[in-house]
Amino acid sequence: MTILVTGAAGFIGSNFVLDWLAQSDETVINLDDLTYAGNLENLASLDGDARHIFIKGSIGDFDLVAKLLAEHQPRAVVNFAAESHVDRSIHGPEDFIQTNIVGTFRLLEAVRAFYGQLEKTAKNQFRFLHVSTDEVYGSLAKDDPAFTETHQYEPNSPYSASKAASDHLVRAYHHTYGLPVLTTNCSNNYGPYHFPEKLIPLVIHNALAGKPLPIYGDGQQIRDWLYVKDHCSAIRRVLEAGRLGETYNVGGWNEKPNLDVVHTLCAILDELSPRADGKAYKEQITYVTDRPGHDRRYAIDATKIERELGWKPAETFETGIKKTVQWYLDNQGWVANVTSGAYREWLGKQYGESK
Ligand code: NAD
Ligand code: DAU
């Protein structure tokens, strides 16, 4: 058996593939366009492993996806591929529209054609799992209840709007064409291989580099943090037993204001890797201009996935964040290659491009 995983050179996709192959011998076809966020170094431990087949290419390339599906006959497609950074979407929304909306549409078209010609048994087994975000639901006020799956869509950034559009397309392909889809809407992930443009890895990197730790606005925005390996286990569980056409919210029950997260990171670093001058890392905290349209609070109600599928996160924020800081301390070479751009040079050599 085989599964096709898109965007699996990115943060969550690479964690998903590593976890998948640690637990199963089912081959993974990894389709990734290797944008700035794609880094095959994340999967270096799979070098020479025949169960991982990497294909460089876009989910928006209908012919390529159709060829891969015909050749490998996967029993499932898991779609992680996306532009994922809110700040980048504010500076330049075009790539988000192209990948998250047009790309997902073309991927769905190729999958629809493939699914249409499967035999009955293969059809019954086939799944298309779309990985989405809690940001499609918009922003909560302080005392609002957490997002359930029936919360209305109110995306506020070009990123979340493009993800919302992709969720609607996935839903429509189920209702119109009977494609066996599943959608997960997850809260903020953190953990190994997180690109250091996002809050947690950026703060760890800047702290160790002696740089400012930028806090947008008053730092009281709230996110609901989930250790990445818990997200991966939720996706595996939904793939295994989720009801077709359903959406499942995935979250860590770990709501934290950004400033608390940054203080926690500073305190762990003070303990594990103290500053040479003996001062506290929190002295590097700097307040900067807020993100335009900044969502104030996200919170996921993950009751449905627990009730229906028995999934619960294994990590608390306290255990997951300590592991994460330790991972970054142990993998400074990975961080250096990402922040210096050295990983892009290698990709350029390997794939003949310098994008
Ligand atoms: P990421 O930016 O780290 O990785 C995205 C990957 O997709 C990269 O490897 C990139 O090269 C690849 N990619 C981009 N465009 C592509 C295309 N056209 N074709 C093929 N591959 C392409 O993102 P991430 O944080 O790992 O997020 C993965 C998915 O999970 C996204 O769909 C995101 O919306 C969703 N999500 C992320 C979080 C989070 O906290 N990071 C939370 C909930 C949901
Ligand atoms: O909620 C799920 C989403 O979480 C995913 O869909 C996105 O792909 C993922 O990037 C993430 O979005 P956020 O915008 O919440 O993550 P980010 O790490 O960019 O920011 C987290 C919070 O920290 C947010 O309130 C903005 C703030 N922030 C971020 C950065 C990079 C700062 O205060 N300073 C910073 O330098």
In Å, how far from its chain's centre is CA 1? 24
Instruction: Give the model's pLDDT for residue 346.
Output: 62
CA distance 251 to 312: 9
Mutate to test the pocket of ligand 2, among 11, 199, 227 (most ligand atoms within 8 A of CB): 199
With 50 as the cut, is the pLDDT of residue 155 above it? yes
In order of 98, 226, 281, the CA distances from 134 in angstroms are 21, 12, 31
Average pLDDT over residues 329-349: 85
CA distance 337 to 12: 19
CA distance 15 to 155: 27
Beta carbons within 8 Å of 289's beta carbon, 6+ residues apart? 216, 217
Mutate to test the pocket of ligand 1, among 84, 128, 226, 334 (most ligand atoms within 8 A of CB): 84
Residue 233 CB less than 6 A away from ligand 2: no
**Pairing between β-strand 255-257 and β-strand 222-227 as defined by DSSP bridges:** antiparallel
Instruction: Give the model's pLDDT for residue 307.
Output: 98
Catalytic residues: 134-135, 159
Kindly state the percentage of the chain with pLDDT values over 70: 97
Q: What is the pLDDT of residues 262-319, one digit of tens each?
A: 999 999 999 999 999 999 999 999 999 999 999 999 999 999 999 999 999 999 999 9
Average pLDDT, the chain: 96
In Å, how far from its chain's centre is CA 274? 31
Q: How many angstroms does the Cα of residue 288 sit away from the middle of ligand 1?
A: 26
Are the CB atoms for 228 and 11 separated by under 8 Å?
A: yes
258 CA: nearest ligand 2 atom: 23
215 CA: nearest ligand 2 atom: 33
pTM of the predicted model as reported, rounded to 2 decimal places:
0.97
Q: How many angstroms does the Cα of residue 96 sit away from the middle of ligand 1?
A: 11
| 45-51 own/partner pairs: CB under 8 Å, 24+ apart | 45/18, 46/17, 46/18, 46/21, 49/21, 51/21, 51/25, 51/26, 51/27
Question: No. of H helices and E strands in the chain?
Answer: 14, 12
Hunting for tokens 């499609």 — which residue is that? 136
With 60 as the cut, is the pLDDT of residue 250 above it? yes
Q: How many angstroms does the Cα of residue 132 sit away from the middle of ligand 1?
A: 9
With 50 as the cut, is the pLDDT of residue 184 above it? yes
Instruction: Give the model's pLDDT for residue 343.
Output: 78
With 90 as the cut, is the pLDDT of residue 214 above it? yes
CA distance 266 to 26: 40
At 354, is the pLDDT very low, low, confident or very high (cuts 50, 70, 90)?
very low
With 70 as the cut, is the pLDDT of residue 350 above it? no
- In the chain the domains, ranked by start, together with CATH numbers, are 2-192+226-255+296-316 (3.40.50.720)
- For helices 228-241 and 11-23, what crossing angle results, to 10°? 60
Instruction: Give the model's pLDDT for residue 61.
Output: 98
Kindly state the percentage of the chain with pLDDT values over 90: 95
Question: Could you tell me which of 211, 189, 207, 201 has the C-alpha nearest to residue 338?
Answer: 201
With 60 as the cut, is the pLDDT of residue 209 above it? yes
Are the CB atoms for 57 and 31 separated by under 8 Å?
A: yes
